[in-house]
Structure 1
């Protein structure tokens, strides 16, 4: 039974890897089941024993990607680090290890995955002062853009360095905005006060 399970896992992994590499090379619409079978060296009957069609195989790639990321973020949450931004490092490390899958899944799938896993992760942080959906959407939208650039550029910076830069942009941007708003509000009060004194 264990040997059969290993065989099933190997077959599925071979099919997933074949599809991902072909999608990266040609684009999803230009890949056929026949192409996948040839690349994976798997028979047609074996393919259909595991997957209904190419879409089902692609969905399994996406689900495995998501499950792995959820597992890593759950482990981070168990540490109770008190730093929800550490999740960014996990995301970049995950993308670095699964670069071809990130290239293949496309931005809409990637956005959905990142939004949902970030939402579930941020729910574990009681100190979050914003609605979880707002924070998750902010991080997901930013990550989709920067991850896309990072993967396409061939990883010019390491995962840890990317996470630190995004953290600086995020925290710095929020702080700068708050300071600008506070300064504007303060100047307006001074101006109003002077106008009233005239």
Structure 2
């Protein structure tokens, strides 16, 4: 391992320890009651080290989702294949991955997006979803003009980000009675007949079959 790789590895390990500590603490008490000292103690690091990596506990929980979103962006070419055809029964991998991530960190998202959660966190999450969708749409290479050229291009993406977070909240409040694949499929059906049509895709609806 080179000298350049060692600091990066230490940073990634510190991030992992702090994120795991945050998720563990959320399963034990309310987010509002958790302090930076609690997180640092659980991760077995000092407070100064925490503040070298994150501004506060809000920044930490936001980064957990942001890192997942960034990972999806980096691997978008793997999630999107040129041979992949739009199908109402074939949910895009992007949705499956997002719901799988939420399922893996149920306690975190239930705490941060629930009734006693943080609007700030929801806003940060929404911002990154919008970035993710814009990149995904760019790789789709929109096939034709939108239905209404006067409509701002960012509007459908913003609308979908709200629907996605609303779907996640509903799923968490239902105690996750449904699998990530089920939720991804149902969400994709909504996207297929609403969002994609607004972007200009030639969608065949059931009454046209």
The correspondence of residues 5-16 of structure 1 with structure 2, limited to 5 A, is 5-16=8-19
Q: Deviations over 1:131-183 (max 9, x none)?
A: 642331232121111111223333222222222222334445689xx99xxxx
Stretch of structure 1 that moved more, 164-173 or 140-149: 164-173
**Counterpart Cα distance in 2 of 1:100 and 1:56:** 17
- Higher RCO structure, 1 or 2 (CA under 8 Å, sep 6+): 2
Per-residue deviation, 1:23: 4.2
Per-residue deviation, 1:53: 3.8
Counterpart in the other structure of 1:167: 188
Q: Does the aligned pair in 2 maintain the 1:66–1:113 contact within 8 Å?
A: yes
Number of aligned residue pairs: give it. Answer: 176
TM-score w.r.t. length of structure 2 = 0.66
**Counterpart Cα distance in 1 of 2:9 and 2:108:** 22
**Counterpart Cα distance in 1 of 2:73 and 2:137:** 12
Per-residue deviation, 1:89: 2.8
Which runs of 5 or more residues in structure 2 are unaligned?
114-121, 198-203
Q: Does the aligned pair in 1 maintain the 2:23–2:105 contact within 8 Å?
A: no
Which runs of 5 or more residues in structure 1 are unaligned?
180-198
Question: Does residue 75 of the first structure (1) align with residue 96 of the second (2)?
Answer: no
Per-residue deviation, 1:13: 0.9
Counterpart in the other structure of 1:99: 106
TM-score w.r.t. length of structure 1 = 0.69
Q: Which has the larger helix fraction?
A: 1
Question: Does residue 119 of the first structure (1) align with residue 128 of the second (2)?
Answer: no
Counterpart in the other structure of 1:66: 69
Q: Deviations over 1:73-94 (max 9, x none)?
A: 44223x1224396133333233
Stretch of structure 1 that moved more, 98-107 or 108-117: 98-107
Q: Does the aligned pair in 2 maintain the 1:92–1:162 contact within 8 Å?
A: yes
RMSD, aligned α-carbons: 3.3
Q: Deviations over 1:65-120 (max 9, x none)?
A: 3212323444223x122439613333323333343443355333322222221122
Please point out which of 23, 27, 37 is paired with 1:20. 23
